[in-house]
Amino acid sequence: MRLWRKLRWRIFGSHLIVVVTGVACLLLTTEIIISNRALTAIQPRLTALTQAKDAVDVELALAALQETYHNTLLFSLLIAAIGATLAGGVTSLLLTTGIIRPLQQIAQSSRRIAGGHYAERVEISDIEELDSVATNFNQMAAALEQVEQQRVALIGNVSHELRTPLTGIEGYLQGMMDGLMPSDAQTFAQMYQEVRRLRRLVDDLQALSRVEAGQIPLHLERFDLSPVVERVIKQLQPQAMAQSLTISTKCPGSVSVYADPDRSAQVLVNLIGNAIRYTPDGGNIKVTVVTSKFVEIAVQDNGQGIPPEALPYIFERFYRVDQSRSRSSGGSGIGLTISRHLAWAMGGELIATSEGEGQGSTFYFLLPKV
């Protein structure tokens, strides 16, 4: 039955059924005619032939015998043709129905998806080739539905992100217009902070758009990763010391990778910066570099951790494990998205793991080694 799920074997089998049915009908009809009718029809002609007295009688007897044989053969072939036609019609109808119906369903579903109905799915066929087409179609529809959901969520998130600083600026301006707030340097400084937040968000959105479109310029080269890791840690060390955090490193000396040094540093700044931001005072952060098939930089902390249900979405735009966290303490929410796309662009990968809330988290940054 495994072979019968393949379309080519069904087509071969349908043709074989037609041939076998035709041959069987021919043999069966010939046998029936010879056993029951042919002898009765031919016997008088043979008798007439044996009793012929002259050439004319012989010729007439042979003509009658030939006509009887011709009619018998024609009748047998006619019955065989009818049987083969019926068998071919039935098998073709069953085969074409099994093929056309799923294809028509896929065509109808594709039109509905084009019209915006992304939840459309098709039934799985019992034919292996059509089963593969239907499965791939459903996977495509699911991906389109997810993209549409992300698009809607992105619009909502961007609107929310923009509304926060704009509301602050509007409040300051309204307060000054109503005379409730003084038009002094302190008020303008607070407004400037809101404008800076707005500018950072716009810059992050622009960077995300460029990196997702593959428009970020990369300068791939062979370089030693160890000095880059040390430079990033030294850059973020004052922020860690302000929270009484300890950053330890483990690197096997010189480690050669083929990537963009500046973009690699950008990813590390984001990963270590997030570890500092989400690790409570007095915690520790470990940065480990190991070499296997790739060069792997692991950034591990003993901070808040990530719930298992949040791990699949940690790299999505604006996603936050704690939705109540303020934007001032949590950043724009797209740093990890940008970092992962940068890792992909350099031929690497970015992976997040965690044992759960309160168990810390580890981010693995992989780069091609040379």
CATH of the domain at 269: 3.30.565.10
CATH code: domain of residue 203:
1.10.287.130
63-82 CB burial, b ≥16 within 10 A, e <16: ebbeebeeebeeebeebbee
Cα 356 to the chain's mean position, in Å?
28
Give the tokens for residue 263: 């973009």
The pLDDT tens digits of the residues spanning 279-337 come to 999 999 999 999 988 999 999 999 888 998 888 888 887 776 655 444 444 555 788 98
- The band of 259, judged by pLDDT with boundaries at 50, 70 and 90, is very high
The pLDDT tens digits of the residues spanning 261-285 come to 999 999 999 999 999 998 999 999 9
User: Which of 115, 142, 160 marks a domain boundary?
Assistant: 115
Average pLDDT, the chain: 81
* 331: in domain: yes
* 122: in domain: no
| Whether residue 105 is found in the same domain as residue 207 | no
Strands (E), the chain: 221-224, 246-250, 256-259, 284-291, 294-301, 349-354, 361-368
Mean pLDDT for 134-152 is 83
**pTM for this one?**
0.61
Q: Which residue has the higher pLDDT, 149 or 46?
A: 149
pLDDT exceeds 50 at position 228: yes
| CA distance linking residue 142 with residue 149, whole number of Å | 10
User: Which of 161, 185, 212 marks a domain boundary?
Assistant: 212
φ/ψ of residue 341, rounded to 5? -65, -35
User: Which of 74, 92, 115 marks a domain boundary?
Assistant: 115
| Whether residue 158 is found in the same domain as residue 291 | no
Contacts 24+ apart (CB under 8 A), 154-163: 154/317, 154/318, 157/317, 157/318, 157/333, 158/205, 158/318, 161/201, 161/318, 161/327, 161/332, 161/333, 162/198, 162/201
Give the tokens for residue 249: 């490193």
Residue type (1 letter), 297? I
Choose the weakest-confidence range: 88-92, 100-104, 119-123, 363-367.
Answer: 88-92
Bridging pattern class, strands 349-354 and 284-291 = unpaired
3-state helix, strand, coil in the chain (%, to 5): 65, 10, 25
Domain count, the chain: 3
| Whether residue 15 is found in the same domain as residue 66 | yes
The pLDDT tens digits of the residues spanning 61-89 come to 667 666 766 677 777 677 777 777 777 67
| Whether residue 227 is found in the same domain as residue 364 | yes
- Name residue 150's beta-bridge partners: none
pLDDT exceeds 90 at position 164: no
| CA distance linking residue 357 with residue 308, whole number of Å | 8
**pLDDT (0 to 100) of residue 109:** 87
φ/ψ of residue 198, rounded to 5? -65, -40
Q: Domain range for residue 308?
A: 221-368
* 124: in domain: no
* 125: in domain: no
The pLDDT tens digits of the residues spanning 50-61 come to 666 667 666 666
pLDDT exceeds 50 at position 97: yes
7-33 vs 128-177: helix axis angle to the nearest 10? 150
| CA distance linking residue 353 with residue 318, whole number of Å | 19
Please tell me whether residue 323 adopts helix, strand or coil conformation. coil
Mean pLDDT for 113-128 is 81
* 121: in domain: no
